[in-house]
Structure 1
Amino acid sequence: MNDQGQQYRGAWTVWIVGLAAYLLAVFHRSSLAVAGLVASERFDITAAQLSTFVMLQLLVYAGMQIPVGLAVDRFGPRAVMLAGAVVLTLSQAGFAFAESYATALTARFFVGMGDAMTFVCLLRLVNAWFSPGRIPQITLLTGPIGQLGGIIAAVPMTWAFSNLGWTKAYLFAAGLGLLVTIAVLLLVRDEPHARSVRGPALSWTRIRTSLAASWEHPGTRLGFWMHFVTQFSSTVLGLLWGYPFFVRGEHTSEAFAGMLLTLMVVAVMFAGPVLGRLIGNHPWHRSTIVLTIVSAIVVAWTAVLAWPGDAPGWLLVVMVIAVGVGGPASMIGFDLVRTSNPIDRLSTATGIVNQAGFLASLITVIAVGVILDATGQNFKAAMSFQYVLWALGLTQVWRYRVKTRARLVRDDPERWARHAGIG
């Protein structure tokens, strides 16, 4: 096999192993989606306290994105991904044995930390191993396939909690992390011609310069708000409030609620490749695609929340499909980062954007828990909080879409003239 063929095979090997690490991270992140009611009984906590699990996890995840991006640019994605796999494995094992609320919170803190050290690394590997023309498709395929971790959390974990119990279910999950760690160690290389790469040493001056240059570009900010407005609804449903909302808010059966969460993840998986091809063929209309998808999500949620009494099953199906499409749509923000930043600060800019959707999710998770406690478990009132963030996000996407186009007109008028638009 010639060098080109070996590199092609190596690219897919690295991607598959990195994807396995990301899939497991999503599983760990999503494991509370079907364990929320069990956790409430195990730790004897309120809805607001239950939301603190996910709040803390998301806060750590979002807060770690910029440090992780800087670390990847400095130490390479392989080293950071390895560290993340080890942290996830140990923290999930700790969660399995947690008997007190405080111990469980500590474990989820480290779950968020390990989770944060996975996805940015995988995107950096994709950019290092694949050709520029293939990167958008692989990027939008990566997120949806990784969401299989949500399916693993939604159906088998429901069975595991009922038949194996809390400790054994989470110990099994932790054991999978050991296998992933070994695979990353043996099979992942930072670049085709280097097992590990190192960037310039970090200093406060370099950190400030990299962050400022990344954030200064309106394309990075456009990507940030794209990620913010598209992802949070599916994340909030998948991580914590979806199962209680369907069972207690819409009075569905537990089996139907699990099916809806699984269907949402299936929608994520099918939408990813379609959106990847769409933005690959129409890169100058990325923000238009995002605006259209978010509008569909808002319409679907409005129909459910405005329905007198419990919404019919078919409408809940339509809603979770629309919400599911928002997951891969958030990946479009990373494509804006790729085309707006040089490779030496790509992971830093990616970290900035990746915290956006989780910041929005964190705010929503907290708000839903607080509103539920304040209104006596009125789920429709609690879920209506999403309109605040949709309004903010859509406004900012439109604002930075205009600014990004103006930057291109200024910096590359010939390119603008050829394509008549960006974003």
Structure 2
Amino acid sequence: MALSGQQAVLAPSLRIVDRAYFAWATVAIAYAIAFLQRVSPQTVGLSFMHDFGTDASGVALLASSYFWGYTLMQIPAGLLVDRYGVKRVVLCSMAASALGSAAFALSPTLLDVFMARLIVACGDALVFTALLKLVAQSFADERFGVMSGISQVSGYVGGAIATAPLASAVSGFGWRACFIVIACIGAANLACASVALKPAAATHTNKTFKSVLLASWRALGASANWGCAMAFASHFAVVTTLSGVWGIPMVAHYFNISPSAAGAPLLAFMVGNALGSIFLGHAADRTTSLDGSLIWICVLRMLLIAMLLPALAHTFGLVYVGTVFAVLGLVAGGTVPLVLKCTKHLYTAELIGVGASVNTTSAGIFAGLAQPVIALAMVTASGLGATSIHTTRPAANDAGYLALIGILLLMSLPGIVGPLLIRRKLILRA
């Protein structure tokens, strides 16, 4: 009888846990799709340039339109999740992403491309904040670090798919067909999420936009919070520009290989991201110097980026470049848990959504402003003249990629300054 009673109690508990993981999985898949969308310009860039008869500035438009849409929705993302709960926000996000992907695949002009990518980004911008909120609500506090790290890994899985696998698919079926398939997968995930996710708890209806806006305004007045934002913005803009916009074209140019073959080092980068997020994220839970760790990891990232200079790549070969990308992935993966840990310490668990919004808004603005500057510098340094619309033109030459790396190193400097602003507040909270 006692055993039967225990089974009766355990059964509903297991069902609740199973539903929590199922619900988490649908949002994690949405985040994987969002990450794929973010880094896909590097994979489709050469085909995109050929189809629209454009150059590096066209790829920059493709990338910056996503960053601007992503940025515009960051502060609203925190407000919407806090006010309406995860389910309603995530379903709207998935719908926008799927519709935007289909529109992108069918776009006849660059203006249509810009608008479609803007819609995709506005939807994708809501996902990570909602995913963090879902983890905080559905799992015990002692599992927050592990589940947030695994949540980040789901994004890296999408990023990995956007490298060699997507490049092969684009070579075989074309970029338009690939994004129609992505739109269909997003729509199917939307249907699953509508069943798996629970409606918002009653406590959400007691919150107002005014209260969360006031909390956001107070957060903007703290220099330590800006330091955290600087650290994340530097990481996000530098890593995404390299791994999500110019990585594959750069490797393809260095070694005169196809985009699908050039995707291998970027795939190694995404695998490194996943491993770094788990193992270095585990170490982040045990470090006593978050600010110092962020500074050292930024310096290491700068060193690795400098190791991708054209002269070094030509001297040491493709395996060398792949190894550098893999180690860079480990470093990049370990950076995010450190920033999330700082965010939780600075904002507390109650306002982590606001903290995530401030960080990602700063990152999106930085990345969006940087793309046209980078494209102009690369085109100017490369000195490439106009070519026929029907001729595949290189995005840049060695001089152009040298300019890219130089700018990425300059963009890394806020990652050193930011942690210095965090230090005093972290000490006071310790």
Same fold? TM cut 0.5: yes
**How many Å separate the matches in 1 of 2:183 and 2:144?**
31
> Taking structure 1 as reference, are residues 309 and 4 closer, same or farther at Cα in structure 2, changes over 3 Å only?
closer
1:389 paired residue number: 411
2:3 paired residue number: none
- 1:27-46 matched pairs, under 5 angstroms: 27-46=36-55
> Taking structure 1 as reference, are residues 342 and 167 closer, same or farther at Cα in structure 2, changes over 3 Å only?
same
1:154 paired residue number: 163
Contact map agreement 1:215 1:349 (CA 8 A) in 2? no
The one of 278, 292, 308 equivalent to 2:296 is: 292
1:372 paired residue number: 378
Residue 89 (1) aligns with residue 111 (2) = no
SS of aligned partner of 1:310: helix
Residue 303 (1) aligns with residue 325 (2) = no
> Taking structure 1 as reference, are residues 160 and 401 closer, same or farther at Cα in structure 2, changes over 3 Å only?
same
Question: C-alpha deviations, 1:137-160, integer Å up to 9, x for none?
Answer: 211221122211122222232222
1:232 paired residue number: 237
Identity of aligned residues (%): 18
The one of 326, 333, 344 equivalent to 1:338 is: 344
What's the offset of the Cα at 1:231? 2.8
Residue type at the aligned position of 1:336 = C
> Taking structure 1 as reference, are residues 354 and 62 closer, same or farther at Cα in structure 2, changes over 3 Å only?
same
Question: C-alpha deviations, 1:13-71, integer Å up to 9, x for none?
Answer: 22222111111121222332210000101111121122011111101112211111111
Residue type at the aligned position of 1:99 = P
**How many Å separate the matches in 2 of 1:401 and 1:251?**
46
**How many Å separate the matches in 1 of 2:13 and 2:224?**
33
2:141 paired residue number: 132
**How many Å separate the matches in 2 of 1:214 and 1:4?**
38
What's the offset of the Cα at 1:208? 4.1
The one of 45, 57, 76 equivalent to 2:66 is: 57
**How many Å separate the matches in 2 of 1:50 and 1:34?**
10
SS of aligned partner of 2:271: helix
Q: TM-score, normalised by structure 1?
A: 0.88
Question: C-alpha deviations, 1:364-406, integer Å up to 9, x for none?
Answer: 433221111111232112221012221222112223223432x
> Taking structure 1 as reference, are residues 321 and 289 closer, same or farther at Cα in structure 2, changes over 3 Å only?
farther
* CA root-mean-square deviation: 2.3
Q: TM-score, normalised by structure 2?
A: 0.87
Contact map agreement 1:28 1:173 (CA 8 A) in 2? no
Contact map agreement 2:79 2:213 (CA 8 A) in 1? no
- 1:68-147 matched pairs, under 5 angstroms: 68-147=77-156
> Taking structure 1 as reference, are residues 155 and 213 closer, same or farther at Cα in structure 2, changes over 3 Å only?
same
**How many Å separate the matches in 2 of 1:356 and 1:42?**
33
> Taking structure 1 as reference, are residues 208 and 177 closer, same or farther at Cα in structure 2, changes over 3 Å only?
closer
What's the offset of the Cα at 1:295? 1.5
> Taking structure 1 as reference, are residues 294 and 342 closer, same or farther at Cα in structure 2, changes over 3 Å only?
closer
> Taking structure 1 as reference, are residues 43 and 146 closer, same or farther at Cα in structure 2, changes over 3 Å only?
same
1:202 paired residue number: 209
**How many Å separate the matches in 1 of 2:304 and 2:313?**
16
Contact map agreement 1:226 1:287 (CA 8 A) in 2? no
**How many Å separate the matches in 2 of 1:87 and 1:66?**
17
Contact map agreement 2:269 2:326 (CA 8 A) in 1? yes
Residue 258 (1) aligns with residue 267 (2) = no
Q: Which runs of 5+ in 1 are unaligned?
A: 409-415, 417-423
The one of 321, 328, 332 equivalent to 2:326 is: 321
**How many Å separate the matches in 2 of 1:322 and 1:156?**
21
**How many Å separate the matches in 1 of 2:278 and 2:335?**
11
The one of 331, 355, 358 equivalent to 1:352 is: 358
Question: C-alpha deviations, 1:347-377, integer Å up to 9, x for none?
Answer: 1221111233333333443322111111123
Contact map agreement 2:94 2:186 (CA 8 A) in 1? yes
**How many Å separate the matches in 1 of 2:313 and 2:125?**
39
Moved more, 78-87 or 7-16: 7-16
SS of aligned partner of 1:198: helix
> Taking structure 1 as reference, are residues 14 and 152 closer, same or farther at Cα in structure 2, changes over 3 Å only?
same
> Taking structure 1 as reference, are residues 156 and 95 closer, same or farther at Cα in structure 2, changes over 3 Å only?
same
Moved more, 336-345 or 379-388: 336-345
**How many Å separate the matches in 2 of 1:107 and 1:62?**
15
> Taking structure 1 as reference, are residues 340 and 309 closer, same or farther at Cα in structure 2, changes over 3 Å only?
closer
